[in-house]
């Protein structure tokens, strides 16, 4: 796609993100006619600030719009680590009858403990370390499942879930889709496992720009696992998390009414669950729903409301109980909101806090790196941001 004009690349990525010209124009603060002229090549994108705004709305690096291969060395190294996961997902050792070799076949209980460690690694945002664990873990869990299909089923679904989760974080939605799809397939027949796997499926579909499909799938999964009036915490958490995923998909589609309704429905379930729990690795509770309102508001173009939700959300006791990666990801969304209100200093301050909370969210996650690049070019940003961008080779 590097040979395409900039306008054609804008049109391509707008379509990938499932944005109409009108919604795209609204998020940019431009007219639909302006967008149409850019995409047809009648109007040039000749200002760096405008290119950065377009890239931010499309959730891609500015270099992608320019057709440049601007990946720093660190990103190239991460690509090599991702290849190990890709290779592990490409093997079909069990269907092809290949023996486990020198690796012992672990019992299901031990396999479950290793998978739990992988989830903890993810929740502490140690993404590169997790990438190193996953190839061996995927191999082991397949052999465990082959030896004990009943006991190994849950660990297998959980490994696919955490694999999909980290791949979405690292900007690999296509590969993440493979992992999420396999999780759904293995989980089939168990509505609780299907609902758990669907959480990552929703993340993958949204990352791939298939927001309407995501909303439909999340609602189907949520209402299938919806507990009776006085349900237990785990099922309430799954149902509520899926409703949040559906709401975020609706926000990405520009549907503010559906977004609000779904988040209100999730909040009602969260009030029954409370904060401080992590049923099925969802982190669901009143604080999680409050923070989701920030993300939704940013995607809907209401940055002021997003900041207000952030300010109230972080004052909750549940804020400090959320996983590290969740808090840092939320701070990145809040930094985006501040940037949209033309307050780069506040955006830089929040992004620096995200870097202190979970460095990988800013340094290894494409969304964090792109935001860092945009903020670092603004005047009057914290020196820590400009120094970090220079150190990472982000310009």
Does 143 share its domain with 217?
Answer: no
How many domains would you assign to the chain?
Answer: 4
Domain boundary among 287, 322, 357: 322
**Do 208 and 311 reside in the same domain of the chain?**
yes
Residues 14, 82 share a domain: no
- How far is 343 from 59, CA to CA, in rounded Å? 19
- The pLDDT of residue 384 is 84
How wide is the angle at C-alpha 187 spanned by C-alphas 183 and 190, nearest 5°? 155
Low-confidence ranges of the chain (pLDDT < 70): 1-4, 46, 48, 67-79, 96-98, 100-101, 229-230, 395
d(CA 193, CA 157): 8
Q: Are both 41 and 126 inside the same structural domain?
A: no
Domain containing 85 equals: 71-188
User: Same structural domain for residues 229 and 240?
Assistant: yes
The reply to whether 1 falls in a domain is no
Q: Based on the fold, state whether residues 157 and 259 are members of the same structural domain.
A: no
Distance of CA 75 to the CA centre of its chain: 18
Q: What is the DSSP string of 339-385?
A: HHTT-HHHHHHHHHHHHHH-HHHHHTSHHHHHHHHHHHTSTT--HHH
pTM, whole model, 2 decimals? Answer: 0.80
Question: Is 125 domain-assigned?
Answer: yes
CATH number of the domain that residue 35 is part of = 1.10.260.40
> Are 163 and 209 found together in one domain?
no
Q: Do 183 and 76 share a domain, yes or no?
A: yes
Residues 338 and 355 in one domain: yes
Q: Residue 99 domain-assigned?
A: yes
**Co-location of 53 and 88 in the same domain:** no
Could you tell me the CA-to-CA distances from 217 to 25, 254, 289 in Å, in that order?
Answer: 28, 18, 19
Of 339, 350, 341, the C-alpha closest to 313 is 350
The answer on 180 and 85 residing in a single domain is yes
Question: Does 193 reside within a domain?
Answer: no
DSSP notation for 93-133: TTTTT---TTS----HHHHHHHHHHHHHHHHTT-HHHHHHH
In 3D, which of 288, 294, 293 has the Cα closest to residue 307?
Answer: 294
53 lies in a domain? yes
Using the 3D structure, point to which of 167, 188, 209 is the last residue of a domain: 188
Please check whether residue 385 is in contact with residue 348, taking contact to mean a CB–CB distance below 8 angstroms.
Answer: yes
For residue 195, is it within any domain?
no
Flag whether 215 is in a domain. Answer: yes
Q: Which of 164, 188, 212 is the last residue of a domain?
A: 188
Residues 165 and 232 in one domain: no
| Cβ atoms 204, 224 nearer than 8 A | no
d(CA 272, CA 289): 13
Find all residues with CB under 8 Å of 331, minimum gap 6, and list them.
350, 351, 353, 354, 357, 361
Determine, yes or no, domain membership for 209.
yes
Can you tell me the distance from the alpha carbon of 145 to that of 62, in angstroms, rounded to the nearest whole number? 43
């Amino acid at each position: 796609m590097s040979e395409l004009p900039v306008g054609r690349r804008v049109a391509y990525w707008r379509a990938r993100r499932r944005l109409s010209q009108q919604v795209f124009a609204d998020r940019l603060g431009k007219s639909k006619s302006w967008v149409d002229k850019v995409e047809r090549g009648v109007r040039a994108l000749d200002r760096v600030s405008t290119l950065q705004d377009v890239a931010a709305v499309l959730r891609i690096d500015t270099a992608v719009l320019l057709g440049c291969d601007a990946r720093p060395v660190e990103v190239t190294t991460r690509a090599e680590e991702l290849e190990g996961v890709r290779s592990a997902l490409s093997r079909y050792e069990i269907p092809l009858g290949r023996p486990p070799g020198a690796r012992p076949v672990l019992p299901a209980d031990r396999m479950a403990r290793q998978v739990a460690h992988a989830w903890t690694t993810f929740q502490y945002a140690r993404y590169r370390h997790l990438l190193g664990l996953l190839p061996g873990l995927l191999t082991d869990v397949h052999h465990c499942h082959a030896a004990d299909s009943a006991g190994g089923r849950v660990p297998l679904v959980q490994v696919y879930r955490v694999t999909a989760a980290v791949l979405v974080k690292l900007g690999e939605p296509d590969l993440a889709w493979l992992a999420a799809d396999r999780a759904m397939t293995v989980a089939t027949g168990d509505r609780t496992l299907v609902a758990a796997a669907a959480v990552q499926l929703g993340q993958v579909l949204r990352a791939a720009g298939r927001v309407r499909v995501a909303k439909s799938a999340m609602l189907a999964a949520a209402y299938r696992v919806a507990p009776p009036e006085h349900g237990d915490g785990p099922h309430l958490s799954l149902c509520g998390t899926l409703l949040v995923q559906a709401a975020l998909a609706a926000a990405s589609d520009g549907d503010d009414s559906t977004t609000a309704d779904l988040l209100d429905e999730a909040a009602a379930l969260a009030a029954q669950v409370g904060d401080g729990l992590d049923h099925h690795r969802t982190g669901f509770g009143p604080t999680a729903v409050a923070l989701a309102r920030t993300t939704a508001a940013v995607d809907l173009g209401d940055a002021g409301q997003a900041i207000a939700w952030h300010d109230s959300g972080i004052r909750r006791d549940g804020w400090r109980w959320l996983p590290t990666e969740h808090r840092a990801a939320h701070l990145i969304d809040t930094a985006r909101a501040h940037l949209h209100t033309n307050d780069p200093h506040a955006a830089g301050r929040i992004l620096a806090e995200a870097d202190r909370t979970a460095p990988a969210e800013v340094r290894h996650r494409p969304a964090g790196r792109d935001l860092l690049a945009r903020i670092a070019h603004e005047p009057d940003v914290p020196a820590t941001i400009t120094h970090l961008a220079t150190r990472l080779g982000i310009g």
